[in-house]
Amino acid sequence: MPDSIAGLVLRAVVVSSVFWYSALALPGLDDKLSAAASLITLSGILIGFLMTAISLLISSADKLFIVSLRKTGHFQRLVKDLVNSAIFWVAVIFLSLLCHLVKDFDLVLSAALSAMVYSLIYFVSAMNELKVVINTLSIPD
C-alpha cells in the first residue's frame, strides 16, 4: 500500500483523536472491562477471517488471477497488508487483556481502541487497493 505523507498524517490525526477522546470519555464509562472483552472478541474474529483469506490466497497460487497479481507485485503487498492488519489486531488483544490485569487501565483501553481504529483503517485501505487491482486486472485485453 503506497503511503503518502498526507495519508500518514491523516491516519495519525484520526488515531490520536480517538486516543484522546476515549481517554477523556472512558472515566465516565461504567463497564470498561466489558468494552475490553468486546475488543478481544472482535479482534479474534477478524484475525480468524483474515488468516482464512490469506490461506485461500496462498493456496490458490497457480490460478491465473493470482499469477497476474504476483507478476505485478500486488500479491506480496496484499499479503503484507493483511498480515500487518492481523498484527495490529493481536496488539489490540494484548492491550485489552492487559486491561484485566492493571488497576487503572483507562489509558491502556484508549490505546487498545486506537490500535483497533488504526488496524481498521489499514484493513479498509488494503481492501480498497485490492478492489482497484481487481478492477484493473479484470479488464479484458
The residue-averaged pLDDT of 119-136 equals 83
Report residue 8 as a C-alpha cell: 500518514
Q: Which structural domain range is residue 16 located in?
A: 5-138
Lowest mean pLDDT among 65-69, 109-113, 125-129, 135-139: 135-139
pTM of the model: 0.80
User: Total structural domains in the chain?
Assistant: 1
Give 125: exposed, middle or buried? Use CB within 10 Å, 0-12, 13-18, 19+. Answer: middle
pLDDT, residue 10, reads 81
* Structure confidence at residue 141 as a pLDDT band (50, 70, 90): low
Does 101 or 28 have the greater pLDDT score?
A: 101
